[in-house]
Amino acid sequence: MLREVQPLTTPLLRQINHFGVRFTWITLAVAVVLFAFAVWVRGYAWPDALIAVVALAVGAIPEGLPAVITITLAIGVQRMARRHAAIRQLPAVETLGATSVICSDKTGTLTRNEMTVRRLEVPHGQYTVTGSGYVPEGRLEAASTDDAAADKQRLESSCLVLSGVLCNDAQLNQENGAWHVMGDPMEGALVALAIKAGLEPELTRHEWPRLAEIPFDAKHRFMATLHRHATGDCRIFVKGAPDELLQRCVAQIDGEGTASLDQGAWGAKVANAAAQGERVLGFAVKAVAPDADKLTFSDLDGLVFIGLIGFIDPPREEAVAAIKECHSAGIAVKMITGDHAETAAAIARQLGFGEDPHVLTGRELDDISDTDLPAIVTEASVFARTNPEHKLRIVRALQSTGAIVAMTGDGVNDAPSLKQANVGVGMGHKGTDAAKEASQMVLLDDNFASIVAAVNEGRVVYDNIRKVTAWTLPTNGGEVLAVVAAILFNFSMPMSAVQILWINLVTAGTLGLALAFEPAEPNVMQRRPRPANQGLLTPFLIWRVALVSFLFLAAVLGVFFYSLGRGDELAMARTLVVNLIVVLEIFYLFNVRYLHDTSFSWQGLLGTPAVLAAVAVVVVAQALFTYWPAMHALFDTRPLAFLDGVLIISIGMVMMAILEVEKIVMRRTGWLNQ
């Protein structure tokens, strides 16, 4: 199954590849057309036309964008690691931000994975078990019953507890005053139960050595072991899903004997325990010949049903809050578990899935065609009694609707669905190496809340990538339009090619990079997930690129012709233009830091340490560019007067005010989130 699963390209990589191809062809086409126009229409010498076209390409191509996007993703990796999510594949950082469905395992992820036996059900009565966690302190309290049934009840419960400790691979150890399970948590709870019942697990296992076993598997959903006592008594003990065991049983225990199997009564007891959120295991036994030493599936016919054991695994409080946050963020949460449907529904209600969660079982999924499955799994919120094939079908069905799916898993059998998911999430504590290798992210604490925290960080990363894009393209666009205008209307270029290189060199690695460190905006988890097919340039960003590009063009041409009109030489006018573009980029940086909110606040105006450091570096670089004689020789610049600086800064403030008004209008019309 793992070999058949083809890895998916993440939404961001698809968008960047699509954007890069289209942008390259458009830039080449415009450059060729302008070169031909300059040579054949305007009469430029071809070297001059070539330099102009090179200036155009330098201004247009956002050469720093891929590096800044990669750094933004890497910063997201660091932030997620601090929130207990280790990213194995860099693009998964952004994919998390686009996640629209989270399919989560229940045990240990949504619950504490601290199993405790709460009840024993035998044919002649019921026991309540006290104590909590794996601490083997507590007792078995029998429900009231008549004296005639009391002896049978004790014999039946003893056989049930014995089955639980023998058909079991776990060990319970005490370290530094705390009890820990080596093995499956449910089996650890059965060892704790045996101690509460007065048994010594290691001594009991020594008295009943294991001869053969059939390990648990999701396909048959039970485990069987063969044991022989020192007295020669040889038995098969079986534990597993009650519905599977009841189908293999022909009788039920009755004290030291057997009686007819009452499947209806047992089914009602399973449903009652499951409705209270308990996970239920059934137990059965079969006496075999003393010389038996092998165990096959055919040996499991004609079992005698002993009873039921109900476990509780309380939900994580942080998982409840995280699911609520997912719902407010428009993210659907699907709980996938091997538990009984009633148990799954009860836990789902405690976790906040609603009073009547829609539950589908694995058998029901088997009866649904691939054509009908997408609509049905979209409506369901809980999947019970599932196996690895079911999980893979669920993920594929959800993806066929356009959903971006995150999937959690810990076992070897979860690896196919983890690889198929857009973001496979392995478990750091209980996860197998196979599950981790198939995943793009590993939870260091196996906690669902950490997934939601990672989704939050993923949205922040994508927001920052949008901000970098929204800042880079229009600032480059202003430079390009100025070059195009100079060629079309046959006037001197407002900037030389080398000055355009200077602008890109100084600002791309400072101002653009500062946006990669932006914190989350206040409403980041109140927005719905973006569509999977949404391009890197949304309608709002396309509008913003066009608007800001023309604002830059208007400011550049206005200052350029103002300077020439008052009698300045071309070098002075170009120096003014270069400084104006850098100042406009600084002011625009403060505006684009908040794409969904106003920038006119103390937090917005003060900026982050990264923003302030970037601005300081750019200011120092521009001061050297403008006033250092060595720069005058390299870039043909001139020193500016104080009033020229005031003029440039005033234009920057006016542009920021215009864009803040535009942002308010866009937010009220609903265009801001498009």
Catalytic-role residue among 105, 339, 414, 463: 105
d(CA 419, CA 230): 49
Token pair recorded at residue 489: 């209307």
d(CA 288, CA 246): 19
DSSP-based three-state secondary structure for 121: strand
DSSP-based three-state secondary structure for 602: helix
Distance (Å) of CA 496 to CA 52, 262, 520: 8, 92, 39
Contact 434, 415 (CB under 8 A): yes
According to DSSP, the residues that pair with 254 across neighbouring strands are 257
d(CA 312, CA 274): 10
Phi, psi angle pair for 225, to nearest 5°? -135, 150
d(CA 544, CA 560): 24
* Inter-helix orientation angle 65-82/11-40, to 10°: 160
| Percent composition of the chain: helix, strand, coil (DSSP 3-state, to 5) | 55, 15, 30
DSSP-based three-state secondary structure for 387: coil
d(CA 620, CA 612): 12
Phi, psi angle pair for 222, to nearest 5°? -155, 165
Q: Would you put residue 73 in left (φ > 0), alpha (ψ -120 to 50) or beta?
A: alpha
Distance (Å) of CA 68 to CA 28, 204, 440, 673: 23, 63, 22, 23
d(CA 516, CA 71): 7
Q: Which of 76, 98, 148 is nearest to 461 (CA)?
A: 76
Ordered DSSP codes for 473-494: HHHHHHHHHHHHHHHHHT---S
Active site annotation includes 105: yes
d(CA 409, CA 432): 9
CA 539-541-547 angle, 5° bins: 105
Contact 540, 666 (CB under 8 A): yes
Alpha-carbon 294 to chain mean position: 46
- The set of residues, in sequence order, having a beta carbon less than 8 Å from that of 115 and lying 6+ positions away, is 134, 185, 186, 188, 189, 279, 311, 312, 313
Contact 384, 340 (CB under 8 A): yes
The span from the first CA to the last CA of the chain, in angstroms, equals 39
Alpha-carbon 85 to chain mean position: 9
- The set of residues, in sequence order, having a beta carbon less than 8 Å from that of 451 and lying 6+ positions away, is 85, 102, 104, 322, 406, 408, 425, 443
Hey, which residues are catalytic here? 105
